[in-house]
RNA sequence: GGACAGGUGGCCGAGUGGCUAAAGGCAGCAGGCUGUAAACCUGCCGCUCCUUGUGAGCUACGGGGGUUCAAAUCCUCCCCUGUCCA
C-alpha cells in the first residue's frame, strides 16, 4: 500500500497516537521499532491544540515530526465512547468537550475539513460506532446514519482533498478516504453496509463497531462474514482490535490493517504481552526475577532490562515504566505482524 | 519542675457511650483494560473456623484499675510524645 508519506507493508498493525503522541513513546523510537503508520484522532486534535494550529505548523506530520504515514480516525468512535457527552442527529453530532464542557458540532463535512487540515494519509469517513448490544432495529438505523454520512464524507472529501497547500512536498499526492462498515452483529446488515460502501468507491474499507463489548467469537464471525463483500485489491481495515492472538488470526483471515490502544494502554497499566502469554509485571512474583521479560523477544527492552527492574519501575510509579512497557508491547505487536507477513504462523 | 495538647489497625488520620473490626487516605496484594475522557478502574486488606454468610468465635483503639446492661469514647493512676513557661 503506497501512501503520500511512504509505502506500508501489510498486514500492518498501527499504534494509536490519539493526541499526536503514541503515549510514552517518542517518534524516533517508534521509527526504531519500525512502526510503519500510526493513528491520530480528529476529535482530540480538533479540541487541542486545534486543527487550524496544526495546519499552520505545517500539518500533523511536521508538527509531531513523524514523516511516515498517519491515519486519522474521524471522531466516529467518540460518538460511541463519549456517549454521555454527545447528542446524535441525522445531520451530525453535538459533543460536549471532555476537557472543558464546551459544545462542539461534528458533521461529516467538518470531520473531513479537520482531517484534511491535519494532512493525514488516510482519512476515515465520519461514522456512528454502534454500541453493543444493539437490537436489529437500532443497528439498522445506526447503519443508515453511517451510510448517509459516508456519502457526505466522500463528496466533501473529494471536493476538498487537494486543499493541502500547506506542504508543497506532497503536492499531487492526494490523501485517501476509507469508508466504514457498521451493522452491529447482524451479518446481513454488515453485508448491506459493505455493498453500499463499495458502490461509493472508497480507497479502502474498514470494519468498525467491533470490540465494543461483544464476545470475541462474535467479533471473528462478523469479520469473517463481512470480509467477502469487500474488494481484495483495496486495504481492508478492522478498527480497534485486538489481543496479539486476535490480530494474528484476523491478519491470516485477510485483514490488512488493524489498530488498537491495547498494547499501549495495557503497558501503562503493567500488562505485558509475551511469547509466554500475559505478564502482569506488577505482580510480587517478579520482584526478584532477573530474567528478561520475554526470553524470545529481541526488543530493546527485553535485551537490556530484567523483570525485577520493570516491576520496580511500575510499583515506584516511575514514568520510565510506561516507556519501557509500551516499547515492549508495541515491539511484540509489530513483530507479530512481521511474522504473519513472513508467512510464519502467527 | 509547671501549663497546655495528644497517644486509634503497617503508616497518616476520622471517630467523644450502643448503628464500631472502627470513616477516609496511603502503602500492600490480586484482577481488569480491544478505532484512548484511562500513568486508569475494580476487588481484598486483624486472626481463626465453617454449612462462605446482612455466619461464628477470638483479639484490638499507650498500660493498669474502675463506672455502666454496654467503653476507642466517661472516671482514676501510671507510661510516653509534642509545644510553651521556669
Judge if pTM exceeds 0.90. yes
Q: What are phi and psi of A87, to 5 degrees?
A: -135, 120
- Quick one: which of A339, A336, A299 has its CA closest to A30? A299
Order the strands of the A86-88 sheet from edge to edge: A86-88, A93-96, A103-106
Q: Is A73 a catalytic residue?
A: yes
Per-residue pLDDT tens over the stretch A294-336: 999 999 999 999 999 999 999 999 999 999 999 999 999 999 9
Q: Are A230 and A316 in contact (CB under 8 A)?
A: no
DSSP-based three-state secondary structure for A145: helix
Q: Which nucleotide is nearest to A19 (CA to C1')?
A: B36
CA of A106 to C1' of B62 (A): 65
CA of A315 to C1' of B39 (A): 11
Of all helices (H) and strands (E), which one includes residue A137? helix A136-160
Complex ipTM value = 0.91
Catalytic residue among A121, A256, A259, A294: A259
Q: Which nucleotide is nearest to A127 (CA to C1')?
A: B35
Per-residue pLDDT tens over the stretch A237-267: 999 999 999 999 999 999 999 999 999 999 9
Quickly state the pLDDT bin for A6 (edges 50, 70, 90). Answer: very high
Q: Which nucleotide is nearest to A77 (CA to C1')?
A: B35
Quickly state the pLDDT bin for A48 (edges 50, 70, 90). Answer: very high
Q: Say yes or no to pLDDT of A346 above 60.
A: no
Cis, peptide link before residue A282, omega less than 30° from 0: no
Interstrand relation of A12-15 and A2-3 (parallel, antiparallel or unpaired):
unpaired
Q: Where are the domains of chain A?
A: 2-260, 262-346
CA of A311 to C1' of B43 (A): 21
Nucleotides of B under 7 A from a protein CB: 27-41
Catalytic residue among A73, A113, A127, A256: A73
Per-residue pLDDT tens over the stretch A103-137: 999 999 999 999 999 999 999 999 999 999 999 99
- The architecture of the domain spanning A2-260 is Alpha-Beta Barrel (3.20)
Quickly state the pLDDT bin for A100 (edges 50, 70, 90). Answer: very high
Q: pLDDT exceeding 90 applies to what percent of chain A?
A: 94
Q: Say yes or no to pLDDT of A344 above 90.
A: no
Distances, alpha carbon A265 to alpha carbons A17, A150, A241, A327, A342, in Å: 11, 30, 13, 12, 27
Polymer length in residues for chain A: 346
Quickly state the pLDDT bin for A202 (edges 50, 70, 90). Answer: very high
CA of A152 to C1' of B3 (A): 83
Amino acid at each position: 500500500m503506497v501512501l503520500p508519506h511512504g509505502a506500508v507493508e501489510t498486514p500492518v498493525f498501527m499504534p494509536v497516537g490519539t493526541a499526536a503522541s503514541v503515549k510514552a513513546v517518542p517518534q524516533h523510537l517508534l521509527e526504531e521499532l519500525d512502526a510503519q503508520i500510526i493513528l491520530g484522532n480528529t476529535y482530540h486534535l480538533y479540541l487541542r491544540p486545534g486543527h487550524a494550529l496544526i495546519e499552520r505548523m505545517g500539518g500533523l506530520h511536521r508538527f509531531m515530526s513523524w514523516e511516515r504515514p498517519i491515519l486519522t480516525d474521524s471522531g466516529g468512535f467518540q460518538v460511541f465512547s463519549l456517549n454521555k457527552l454527545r447528542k446524535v442527529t441525522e445531520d451530525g453530532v453535538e459533543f460536549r468537550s471532555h476537557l472543558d464542557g464546551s459544545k462542539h458540532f461534528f458533521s461529516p463535512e467538518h470531520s473531513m475539513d479537520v482531517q484534511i487540515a491535519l494532512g493525514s494519509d488516510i482519512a476515515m469517513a465520519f461514522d456512528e460506532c454502534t454500541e453493543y448490544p444493539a437490537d436489529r432495529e437500532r443497528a439498522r438505523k445506526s447503519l443508515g446514519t453511517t451510510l448517509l454520512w459516508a456519502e457526505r464524507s466522500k463528496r466533501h472529501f473529494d471536493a476538498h482533498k487537494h486543499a493541502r497547500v500547506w506542504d508543497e512536498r506532497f503536492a499531487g499526492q492526494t490523501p485517501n478516504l476509507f469508508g466504514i462498515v457498521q451493522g452491529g452483529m447482524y451479518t446481513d446488515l454488515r453485508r448491506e453496509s459493505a455493498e453500499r460502501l463499495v458502490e461509493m468507491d472508497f480507497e479502502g474499507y474498514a470494519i468498525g463497531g467491533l470490540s465494543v463489548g461483544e464476545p470475541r467469537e462474535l467479533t471473528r464471525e462478523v469479520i469473517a462474514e463481512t470480509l467477502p463483500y469487500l474488494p481484495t485489491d483495496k486495504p481492508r481495515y478492522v478498527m480497534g482490535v485486538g489481543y496479539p492472538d486476535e490480530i494474528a488470526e484476523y491478519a491470516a483471515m485477510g485483514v490488512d490493517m488493524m489498530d488498537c490502544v491495547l498494547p499501549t494502554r495495557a503497558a501503562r497499566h503493567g500488562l505485558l504481552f509475551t511469547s509466554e502469554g500475559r505478564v502482569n509485571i506488577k505482580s510480587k512474583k517478579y520482584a526478584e526475577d532477573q530474567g528478561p521479560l520475554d526470553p524470545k523477544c529481541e526488543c530493546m527492552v527485553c535485551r537490556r532490562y530484567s523483570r525485577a527492574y520493570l516491576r520496580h519501575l511500575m510499583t515506584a510509579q516511575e514514568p520510565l515504566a510506561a516507556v519501557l512497557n509500551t516499547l515492549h508491547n508495541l515491539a511484540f505487536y509489530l513483530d507479530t505482524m512481521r511474522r504473519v507477513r513472513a508467512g510464519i504462523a502467527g
